[in-house]
Amino acid sequence: MIKLDTIRSQSGVSDWTSKIIADATLEHLDPKAVEIARTNFATKYANRVSAETVQNWSTAELLERVKLSRDGKLTRAALLLLGRAQSTHLLEPHPAQITWKLGGGDYAYEHFGPPFLLTTSEVFRRIGNTQLKIQPDDSLLPIEVSKYDRTVVLEALHNCVAHQDYARDARIIVTELEDRLVFENEGSFFEERPDVYVTDGGRTPRRYRNPYLTQAMAELNMIDTMGFGILRMFERQAKRSFPLPDYDLGDGMSVKLTVYGNLLDESYTKLLLKETDIPLSDVLALDRVQKARPIDDATTRRLRKNGLIEGRKPHLRVAAPGVRHAQDRATYILTKGQDDQFYEKLILDFISKWKSATRKNVDDLLISKLSDSLDDQQKANKVGNLLTSMRRRGLIENTGSRKSPKWQSSNRAG
C-alpha cells in the first residue's frame, strides 16, 4: 500500500479505482470471476507459492494478495474486475460498461459490464472473426488466418480497462467495421506516446492514471506494467503479415486504437510472409508506405537499399518479394545485422573468458557488429536493451554501480 500511495502522490492524480466502496461485500463479487482470479494468480506465481496454498486462501485473503481490497474492504477496482453484473449500482454514476457495436450502416450493439476479468473475453467472442485466405507466392495451398488475433484484441481491451479515465463517467466503446476494430477509451494517453513503446522496446512507463487497478490487472495476468503490451500487439500483427495498429490521440480527451482485420497491400503481405526476418523498425516503415503515409529520407534510403520499396516520393510502394533477393547479399546482411541471440552469446563468451565486462567492453564488442541501418544513439540503445533483457532473464548481473556497471555471469544462469 505504501508503494501505491507513493505513486499516486508523485503523479498528482487521484486514483478513482483505489477508492473503497463502504457498502460492498464479498456477496457483490462474481464467484466464477473470483475462481478465475485465483487460478490466474496461482499461475503467475507458480514458482513462489503452490497452487494448493492459493486454493486454500479465503476469498478475503486472495483479494488482499491481488491488491483489490484495502484493510478488508472492497475497492472500485474489485467491482470492475470481479463484481457481479448486478452490483454495478455501487459504481454509479459511472456506467461500468464496454459497449460493442456494429458500424458501417449496420445496427447492432451489446453492453458488457463487470466482471471485466471475464467479460472482455465475451466481447472478443461477440466479434465476427472469420477466416481469411492468403496465397503465398511459393506455395500451391493458401494460408488460412483469422481476421483478428485473440491476444491482440484482448490486449487492446485490457488496455482500455486499465487506462480509462473513470472520473469522466464514460463507457469503453468497441466498434466493429467490416475490415477493422476501433477501440475507444476516455482520457488522454497518459505516459509518453504509443510509438515510443514500439520503437524503444526497453521503455517502461513511470506512472499510470489508475495505478491501483493496473497493479491488480498485472497480478491477474491481464496486462503487464512494463510497457510491452503495445509492442506485443505490433509484433503479432507483423508476424501475421497484417497491417499494424494505428493510434489516434485526437484532441487529447480520448484514445482510439484501430486493429486491422484485412489486407491492404498484397506486396506488403507477401513480403512479410516470405521475409520473416525484417526488423520491426522496417516493418513500421513499410506499413506507412502501404497506407500512403510519408517516411523520412534516411528510412527511404535504407528501405530502397534493401530492396523493400520501389518508386519515388511521394508515390512509394512496397516492393514485390523477389526484388529484395536481387540486391547485393553482403550489403543486405550488413544492413540487417544479427539476431539478439548472436549478440548475447558474444557477451556471455566475453564474460566467460574475462570473468566480467564493463559497459565500454560491451560497446567495443558489439557496436561494430550492429546493423548499419542504426545510428550511433540507436546502437547505444540496442546495447542497453540487450543488457537489460539479459539481466531480467537471469543471464547476467550487475555487481558494479548503475553509473559504472560491471557485468558478470548470474548465479541463476545455466
Output the pLDDT for position 105: 78
Output the pLDDT for position 327: 53
263 touches 134 (CB < 8 A): yes
Output the pLDDT for position 7: 43
How many CA atoms, within 13 angstroms, populate the side-chain half-sphere of residue 199?
A: 12
Q: What is the pTM of this model?
A: 0.74
The 10 Å CB-count burial string (b at 16+, else e) for 232-262 is ebbbbbbebbbbbbbbeeeeeebbebbbbbe
237 touches 244 (CB < 8 A): yes
pLDDT band per the 50, 70, 90 thresholds, residue 3: very low
Output the pLDDT for position 367: 92
**β partners of residue 112:** 98
Average pLDDT on 124-135 reads 92
Q: Of 284, 336, 273, which is closest to residue 307 (Cα–Cα)?
A: 336
Output the pLDDT for position 139: 76
Task: With a cut of 80, say whether residue 6 has pLDDT above it.
Answer: no
Say which range, 24-28, 246-250, 368-372, has the weakest mean pLDDT: 368-372
* All domains in the chain, ordered by first residue: 14-260 (3.30.565.60), 267-334 (no CATH), 338-409 (1.10.10.10)
Output the pLDDT for position 134: 87
Average pLDDT on 135-158 reads 90
Task: With a cut of 90, say whether residue 165 has pLDDT above it.
Answer: yes
